[in-house]
């Protein structure tokens, strides 16, 4: 079942340009530049069904088409390597193991949309990955795969590396573009500020995740039909699942989209640690509703998870065993959202703070029954009321825990202590 595309051939310590070229590297770029018109590239990506791996699962070909066909001739392409969500570390893996695969995807994307400038926005805390990608850019320039008049085709593409803030919100695309223009990394309201229309310097901009762009050379090399033969009908390809928490073998696993949660945990994660039982799984990081045992056979893809009220996000899978206290866990996630809130939207600034305060009080054994009602009301009130998903993530975390584990909240209040952790 393991299907290695993005991690294939990636050796320990990373693929340098020689090794990358030996594994057919940069051949897709050459093929595209010699044989394809930009809109043909977009057609192939559309036909492949590739969807963004940065969280929303938006169709990549459609995004490229919106920018490429925009009447504004000045366009940009930005690769998003922010990656600050708890439990997700797959983009770092790709940057480390195969930086040229990303650069090839970036160059093909630049050609397809006719971008004037190409940037990689990378979390400034990723010092090793920054050094690696810089080296890769230099090597690709030397070998003629980046820079002016690439492979004598007249196409030019230079990649600039932008070191971004090490915050969660800076990875949100509009906040990222703000940071790149010297302003605070704070999201802008959509609509109207969709990057495809109003992006870098107010111009149409493609923003794509590292993993999304890393898929591009393979699609152009092997063809859209090959890509469609992997994964599910509406979510083709593989996904890099970062699996962590109470499992025996945490790590990043590249598997076809649609693999059931159970197989991910048991076959790849090595099962729950110490022979314990599963309590919940967060399939898409802290921002999406968790799954319980009854959902254990749901396919891990954008549509199947959405259909049951959750989401895949960027596939940061967090597995918790039966000894975890859901009040404490929810409090920790709300603390993350509180700390990461950029503070510009009052419902988020205040909401994350109050939700965390209430949970802290209940967890410490000082809660009252009416606090449960306050939690419910507050999360219902603030949900969806921000320029990004931070406050919604906090509200969903609270609602989901209250719905599935009301007894844990009540027992903390009645017994003035955590009964879950004591009992295990």
Ligand X SMILES: Cc1cc2nc3c(=O)[nH]c(=O)nc-3n(C[C@H](O)[C@H](O)[C@H](O)COP(=O)(O)O)c2cc1C
Binding residues for ligand X (CB under 6 A): 52-56, 58, 80, 82-84, 168-169, 171-173, 207-209, 212, 388-390
Nearer to ligand X, 2 or 69 (CB): 69
Nearer to ligand X, 17 or 169 (CB): 169
Q: Shortest distance, CB of residue 402 to ligand X, whole angstroms?
A: 23
With beta carbons less than 8 A apart as the criterion, state whether 178 and 200 touch: no
Q: Shortest distance, CB of residue 141 to ligand X, whole angstroms?
A: 25
Nearer to ligand X, 162 or 364 (CB): 162
What is the token pair recorded at 291? Answer: 């799954």
Q: Shortest distance, CB of residue 344 to ligand X, whole angstroms?
A: 13
With beta carbons less than 8 A apart as the criterion, state whether 98 and 214 touch: yes
The pairs formed by 11-16 with CB atoms below 8 angstroms and a separation of 24 or more are 11/97, 14/96, 14/97, 14/98, 14/99, 14/132, 15/97, 15/98, 15/99, 15/100, 15/101, 16/139
CA 65 to chain centre: 22
Q: 32: part of which helix (H) or strand (E)?
A: helix 27-35
Nearer to ligand X, 53 or 412 (CB): 53
Q: Shortest distance, CB of residue 230 to ligand X, whole angstroms?
A: 18
Q: Shortest distance, CB of residue 232 to ligand X, whole angstroms?
A: 17
Nearer to ligand X, 118 or 208 (CB): 208
Residue 313's region, left for phi above 0, alpha for psi from -120 to 50, else beta, is left
Cα–Cα distance list, 309 to 66, 197, 288 (Å)? 29, 30, 8
Nearer to ligand X, 176 or 265 (CB): 176
Q: Shortest distance, CB of residue 81 to ligand X, whole angstroms?
A: 7
Nearer to ligand X, 33 or 169 (CB): 169
Helix count and strand count (H, E) for the chain: 18, 8
Nearer to ligand X, 150 or 390 (CB): 390
Q: Which residues of 181-198 are buried (b: 16+ CB within 10 A; e: fewer)?
A: eeeebbbbeeeebbbbbb
Closest CA to 239 of 259, 220, 219, 266: 259
ω before 58 within 30° of 0 (cis)? no
CA atoms within 13 A on the CB side of 231: 27
Q: Shortest distance, CB of residue 410 to ligand X, whole angstroms?
A: 32
Sign of CA dihedral 255, 3, 235, 208: positive
Q: Shortest distance, CB of residue 274 to ligand X, whole angstroms?
A: 32
């Amino acid at each position: 079942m393991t299907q290695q595309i993005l991690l294939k051939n990636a050796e320990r310590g990373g693929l340098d340009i020689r090794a990358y070229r030996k594994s057919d590297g940069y051949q897709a770029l050459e093929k595209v530049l010699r044989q394809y018109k930009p809109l043909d590239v977009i057609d192939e990506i559309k036909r492949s069904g590739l969807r963004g791996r940065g969280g929303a699962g938006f169709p990549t070909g459609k995004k490229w088409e919106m920018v490429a066909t925009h009447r504004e001739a000045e366009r940009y392409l930005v690769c998003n390597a922010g990656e600050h969500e708890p439990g997700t570390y797959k983009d770092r893996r790709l940057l480390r193991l195969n930086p040229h695969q990303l650069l090839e995807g970036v160059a093909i994307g630049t050609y397809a949309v006719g971008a004037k400038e190409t940037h990689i926005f990378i979390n400034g805390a990723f010092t090793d990955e920054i050094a690696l990608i810089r080296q890769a850019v230099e090597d690709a320039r030397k070998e003629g795969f980046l820079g002016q008049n690439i492979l004598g085709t007249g196409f030019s593409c230079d990649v600039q590396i932008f070191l971004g803030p090490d915050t969660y919100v800076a990875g949100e695309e509009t906040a990222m573009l703000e940071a790149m223009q010297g302003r605070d990394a704070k999201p802008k309201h959509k609509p109207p500020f969709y990057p495809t229309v109003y992006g870098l310097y107010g111009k149409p901009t493609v923003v794509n995740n590292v993993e999304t762009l890393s898929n591009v050379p393979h699609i152009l090399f092997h063809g859209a039909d090959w890509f469609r033969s992997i994964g599910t009908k509406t979510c083709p390809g593989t996904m890099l699942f970062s699996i962590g928490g109470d499992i025996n073998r945490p790590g990043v696993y590249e598997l076809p989209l649609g693999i059931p949660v159970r197989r991910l945990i048991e076959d790849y994660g090595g099962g729950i640690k110490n022979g314990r039982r599963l309590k919940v799984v967060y399939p898409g990081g802290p921002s999406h509703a968790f799954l319980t045992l009854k959902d254990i056979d749901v396919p891990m893809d954008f549509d199947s998870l959405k259909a049951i009220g959750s989401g895949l996000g960027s596939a940061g899978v967090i597995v918790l065993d039966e000894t975890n206290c859901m009040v404490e866990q929810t409090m920790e996630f709300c603390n993350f959202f509180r700390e990461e809130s950029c503070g510009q939207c009052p419902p988020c600034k205040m909401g994350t703070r109050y939700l965390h305060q209430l949970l802290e009080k209940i967890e410490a054994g000082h809660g009252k029954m009416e606090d449960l009602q306050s939690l419910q009301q507050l999360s219902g009130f603030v949900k969806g009321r921000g320029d990004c998903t931070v406050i919604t993530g906090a509200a969903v975390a609270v609602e989901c825990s209250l719905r599935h584990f009301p007894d844990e909240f009540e027992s903390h209040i009645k017994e003035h202590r955590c009964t879950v952790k004591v009992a295990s």
